[in-house]
Amino acid sequence: MNSRILILDCGSQFTQLIARRVREARVYSEIHPPTKSLDWIRAWKPTGIILSGGPSSVTDEGAPTVSRALLDIAPVLGVCYGMQLIAHLEGGAVVGGGRREYGRAEVTVDEASGMFAGFEGGEKTTVWMSHGDHVEQVPPGYVPTAHSGNTCAGFRHVSKPIHAVQFHAEVHHTARGAEIIENFLFDICHCTPDWTPGHFIDLEVQKIREMVGDRQVICGLSGGVDSSVAAALVHKAIGDQLTCIFVDTGLLRLHEREQVERTFRAHLGIKLITVRAEDRFLNALAGEGDPEKKRKLIGHTFIDVFEDASADAGKDAAFLVQGTLYPDVIESVSAKGGPSATIKTHHNVGGLKPDMKFKLIEPLRELFKDEVRNVGRELGLPEEMVGRHPFPGPGLAIRVLGEVTPHALDVLRRADAIYLEEIRAAGLYPDIWQAFAVFLPVRSVGVMGDGRTYDNVVALRAVTSTDGMTADWFPFPHDVLARISNRIINEVDGVNRVVYDVSSKPPATIEWE
């Protein structure tokens, strides 16, 4: 890649969205903590650097900071806290209180060039603010480029490519945010838009071949988008050196094993071994209701099954392929000055045993979900596979809240199948990022026929999203929801109540566990 943007994460909940918006402009980006050394940053050779927002005050003890010398390595954009940090480093005045701004705000463009190229001088534009501190006085050698009320909303250096905005250009609520970011990428950094699926495949195939040599590789195949694309990509690189192992964990959706076997053996011609391991997983999960512990138990059991399967197949595999994505990595890391919090331990990241004999190949580790889908299409995978909704590595275990039992799995599996069948029948499946049923650890009173029932509750979840970082609940037509509820209650023994989840992310996560 000729162009790449380094994003230094100062703790904002929106840092991932900055990376996403940069990649939407077909420029590669990575997120790293601001504690990276100047030598490391210079060696990385960024085309541009973005300092993210964050909840700290620049004068707080331990607040994220960078060396002033960073501003001379490459063009720099400060966003929100990043703007305040530049002002602080360069001798401006940053003060707190009195002018807090949260939510939508109106910004007036003072200088219709640089970050605001394509705007008109004096033009007002809607942006998303989230700050308590503000820049009271721009540093020497800088000039304001925008304001909100009496507050500076943007500035730039008079001769160096250093720019800053007080608002979050990366969120959809900022009306012309994508345009502002593209001004930084192409007018200020002079990036080349070369981050494409084809380019990524070529680079990754070469990397995999160099890493693997003539050794054997196994892939943990779930049948979902991530592992399917990872398997196809590795297969393109090394062919028959790859053996896919599909583990029926007993935590899969209805008829999932049969669908995976048919697709990978018949359509792709990839070597596939199926392992029936339902009892091992259910025994490992017996009595455990904590979601983090369930994830790690599943991860450990998964690797145990892999080791047994590779030995049984007579393979001396040195590598294990996993479909880890960039959001998995971001959400599973919490470091001072880095991403703000560990949201949950992802199956592909946090469940591995430290003494695992396999070396990991994670070819999708740098990609967001929609980028993975586009790579899959470029590799020739069928649309019904690459267009499938995300499905978690731990499967239905994290959609059975509390202890996982065969009865709960059976009820959930049948309810979930009806739910997805009706969504497809209504033509709504492509409009939804993710839809699934959840088995709740509660029972409710109902009336069926002439008798009283005391049965289980199933919750339905459907969200829209572009990247999984944020999500809104899907507004089903009432007749579709009514039909889904009616079918589940009538056709699934043990359910007498269906509820619909109308929570967005944040504050909720997409999965319930």
> Which residues are known to be catalytic?
80, 168, 170
Query: CA separation (Å) from 425 to 11, 67, 123, 411?
Result: 43, 57, 47, 21
CA distance 489 to 500: 14
Bridge partners of 143, per DSSP, are 156
CB 322 within 8 A of CB 362: yes
Tokens at 260, concatenated = 């995976």
CA distance 181 to 147: 18
Amino acid at 326: Y
E strand spans, 33-141: 48-51, 76-79, 93-95, 101-109, 124-131, 134-137
Query: In this structure, is the dihedral angle defined by the CA atoms of residues 80, 128, 504 and 252, taken in order, positive or negative?
Result: negative
CA distance 513 to 509: 8
CA distance 245 to 86: 51
Helices (H) and strands (E) in the chain, counts: 15, 20
Comparing C-alpha atoms, which of 113, 157, 155, 106 is closest to residue 129? 106
CB 76 within 8 A of CB 86: yes
Query: CA separation (Å) from 257 to 226, 254, 269, 308, 310?
Result: 16, 8, 17, 19, 19
Amino acid at 95: V
Bridge partners of 378, per DSSP, are none
Q: Please list, in sequence order, all residues whose beta carbon lies within 8 angstroms of the beta carbon of residue 49, skipping any fewer than 6 positions away.
A: 5, 6, 7, 8, 41, 70, 73, 74, 75, 76, 77
Query: CA separation (Å) from 222 to 230, 302, 422?
Result: 11, 11, 24
CA distance 51 to 172: 19
CA distance 447 to 458: 16
Query: CA separation (Å) from 367 to 221, 295, 328?
Result: 18, 22, 10
E strand spans, 193-335: 216-221, 242-248, 272-276, 317-321
CA distance 444 to 359: 48
